[in-house]
Chains A and B, each alone.
Chain A
């Protein structure tokens, strides 16, 4: 069972770190077009919106549940959501809180100098709130040897 737990934990860490970082990168590359009014959206923008919702939902779900998406025995999945995991998740949420606070302050200063839509600011703040806990959690798991 220990091998299963190690394998699943490693997979969870890679998913959270990889998808978390990509999610942030994609905000500037792929999801920018979502800031246009919905009336102007083309089919590709609707697909991007679905991707945005699905992507962020997956990150939130995997972090919140400890990895219910990954197949494994009930005992392995319970061990994957043990006390240390819960402590790491709390540390991740804490990091997300500070990251969103700092980003909000930076956003407030930036909008004084550069035209920014509400949609753009909210999207970026949401993405930081979703990705930071996932990345912080993965970093802690890596440091602890997952």
Chain B
């Protein structure tokens, strides 16, 4: 069971972005976005804030404790 739940995939698709586009926006690799979306990798606070800013939402909306 993942330690952190995420709605990143839903938020990204709602924003009309591909993984590659979101990765480029925040300066990480596509596989970083992919692993965060799949719950394989837990992002740092900094990366979570960058993701939230890029998707015009809040960290609490993107990540939650299951």
Shortest Cβ distance from residue A77 to the other chain B in the assembled complex, whole angstroms: 11
Chain A contact residues, majority secondary structure = helix
The residue on B at minimum CB distance from A75 is: B27
- Residue numbers in A under 8 Å from B34 (CB-CB): 144-145
Q: Bound state CA distance, A71 and B32, in angstroms?
A: 21
The answer on a CB contact under 8 Å between B31 and A79 is no
Q: Is B35 an interface residue (CB 8 A)?
A: yes
Binds A, one of B2-10, B40-48, B54-62: B40-48
The answer on a CB contact under 8 Å between B35 and A2 is no
Q: Which of A83, A141, A144, A145 contacts B28 (CB 8 A)?
A: A83
Q: Bound state CA distance, A84 and B41, in angstroms?
A: 7
Count chain A residues whose beta carbon lies closer than 8 angstroms to a beta carbon of B: 18
The residue on A at minimum CB distance from B32 is: A84
- Residue numbers in A under 8 Å from B20 (CB-CB): 2
The answer on a CB contact under 8 Å between A83 and B43 is yes
**Size category of the binding interface on chain B:** 10 to 19
Shortest Cβ distance from residue B30 to the other chain A in the assembled complex, whole angstroms: 5
Total residue contacts A-B, CB cutoff 8 A: 48
Contact with B along A62-103 (1 / 0, CB 8 A): 000000000000010011101111010000000000000000
- Residue numbers in B under 8 Å from A84 (CB-CB): 28-29, 31-32, 35, 41
Q: Which of A1, A75, A82 contacts B32 (CB 8 A)?
A: A82
Q: Is A132 an interface residue (CB 8 A)?
A: no
Q: Bound state CA distance, A82 and B43, in angstroms?
A: 11
- Residue numbers in B under 8 Å from A5 (CB-CB): 23, 29-30
Which residues of A does B touch, CB under 8 Å? 1-2, 5-6, 9, 75, 78-80, 82-85, 87, 141, 144-146
Which residues of B does A touch, CB under 8 Å? 20, 23-24, 27-32, 34-35, 40-41, 43-44, 47
11 contacts between A and B (CB under 8 A): A2-B23, A5-B29, A9-B29, A9-B31, A82-B27, A82-B32, A84-B31, A84-B35, A144-B34, A144-B35, A144-B40
